[in-house]
Amino acid sequence: MKIAFMFPGQGAQSVGMGQDLYEKYEEVRNIYEIASKISGKDIAQISFNSTIEELSKTENTQLAIATMSLGILKILEKNNIKPEITVGLSLGEYPALISGGYLNVEDGIKLLKRRGYLMGTKVVPGNYSMAAVIGLDSTKIEEICKEISEKGMFIVPANYNYSGQTVISGEENAINLAMDILKENGAKRVLKLQTGGPFHTAKLNEAKELYKEELAKAKFNKENIKAQVIKNIDGTFYNKQDDMVDILSKHIISPVRFDKAIKTMQDNDIDTYVEIGPGKTLTGFIKKENKESNVININSVESLENFIETINNA
What is the SS3 assignment for the chain? CCEEEEECCCCCCCCCCCHHHHHHCHHHHHHHHHHHHHHCCCHHHHHHHCCHHHHCCHHHHHHHHHHHHHHHHHHHHHCCCCCCEEEECHHHHHHHHHHHCCCCHHHHHHHHHHHHHHHHHCCCCCCEEEEEEECCCHHHHHHHHHHHHCCCCCEEEEEEEECCEEEEEEEHHHHHHHHHHHHHCCCCEEEECCCCCCCCCHHHHHHHHHHHHHHCCCCCCCCCCCCEEECCCCCCECCCCCCHHHHHHHCCCCCEEHHHHHHHHHHCCCCEEEEECCCCHHHHHHHHHCCCCEEEEECCHHHHHHHHHHHHHC
Query: In this predicted structure, what is the pLDDT of residue 314?
Result: 80
List, for residues 266-277, the tens digit of each pLDDT value: 999 999 999 999
Catalytic residue, candidates 47, 69, 90, 169: 90
Q: What is the mean pLDDT of residues 225-232?
A: 97
Asked if 83 contacts 227 with a C-beta cutoff of 8 angstroms, the reply is: yes
Q: What is the mean pLDDT of residues 175-204?
A: 92
Residues 6+ apart with CB under 8 A from 88: 6, 7, 8, 9, 94, 95, 96, 97, 232
Cα separations in angstroms, 80 against 12, 51, 73, 116, 214: 27, 36, 10, 31, 32
List, for residues 95-117, the tens digit of each pLDDT value: 999 999 999 999 999 999 999 99
List, for residues 63-79, the tens digit of each pLDDT value: 999 999 999 999 999 99
Asked whether the predicted pLDDT for residue 58 surpasses 80, the reply is yes
Asked whether the predicted pLDDT for residue 196 surpasses 90, the reply is no
Asked if 296 contacts 272 with a C-beta cutoff of 8 angstroms, the reply is: yes
Q: How far apart are CA 9 and CA 221, in angstroms?
A: 23
Catalytic site residue 90? Answer: yes
Q: How far apart are CA 314 and CA 11, in angstroms?
A: 33
CA 126 from centre of chain: 24
> 82-91, 140-149, 191-200, 284-293: lowest mean pLDDT where?
191-200
Asked whether the predicted pLDDT for residue 214 surpasses 70, the reply is yes
List, for residues 296-308, the tens digit of each pLDDT value: 999 999 999 999 9
Catalytic residue, candidates 200, 249, 251, 254: 200
Asked whether the predicted pLDDT for residue 55 surpasses 70, the reply is yes
List, for residues 15-29, the tens digit of each pLDDT value: 999 999 999 999 999
Higher pLDDT, 193 or 281: 281
Asked if 9 contacts 91 with a C-beta cutoff of 8 angstroms, the reply is: yes
Residue closest to 19 by CA, chosen among 278, 306, 295: 278
pTM: 0.95
Reported as a pLDDT band with limits 50, 70 and 90, residue 197 is: confident
Share of the chain above pLDDT 70, in %: 99
Asked if 27 contacts 78 with a C-beta cutoff of 8 angstroms, the reply is: yes
Query: In this predicted structure, what is the pLDDT of residue 248?
Result: 98
Q: What is the mean pLDDT of residues 215-220?
A: 96
Reported as a pLDDT band with limits 50, 70 and 90, residue 11 is: confident
CA 118 from centre of chain: 16
Residues 6+ apart with CB under 8 A from 6: 86, 87, 88, 89, 92, 96, 273, 274, 275, 276, 282, 283, 286
Q: How far apart are CA 68 and CA 4, in angstroms?
A: 18
User: What mean pLDDT value characterizes the chain?
Assistant: 96
